Amino acid sequence: MLGRIGESFLIDARENRCVGCSPHNSLGLRLRFRRSGEHSVETEFDAPEHLCGAPGVLHGGIQATLLDEVFGVAAKTGFPDGANPTLVTLEFQLRYRRPAPLGRPLRVSGRFLRREGRDVFVEGEIADAEGQVLTRAEARWRILSPPG
């Protein structure tokens, strides 16, 4: 499901209707991911005008959604290949550092940090094309069903 390092992929399950990652949700973000390391993933997103908060700035809730989506995929890199546990966000902490512009490519990245029992810890950021970090976040995810 997650592909090899350097490969891009979709979460293309027919039943997937997720607003962030489904290619089948016509109103969603339709994110495509890339495995950037053993325990990391990223996506690029060029925000359209209708997702603005302040003029010219990507809405903060959309930034949180982008990070949450990347974190969910990054969390799964902490499991053996082929495992597909059901995970949900338990805690999410976010810090907006600089405005995220509309109409310019943004890189959203997430990294698996560790597992502690049923909890999975991840971190990541949104950066502009020059690599300047705009938003940082950390999250704790909970395993609902064991990997299988």
Contact 100, 135 (CB under 8 A): yes
Domain boundaries, the chain: 8-145
CA separation (Å) from 41 to 26, 50, 102? 23, 26, 22
Top-tier CATH class for 8-145: alpha beta
pLDDT digits (tens, 9 = 90+) for 1-48: 687 899 988 888 888 888 888 888 888 898 999 999 999 999 999 999
pLDDT digits (tens, 9 = 90+) for 38-73: 999 999 999 999 999 999 999 999 999 999 999 999
CA nearest 112: which of 133, 140, 136, 144? Answer: 140
CA nearest 103: which of 29, 62, 30, 51? Answer: 51
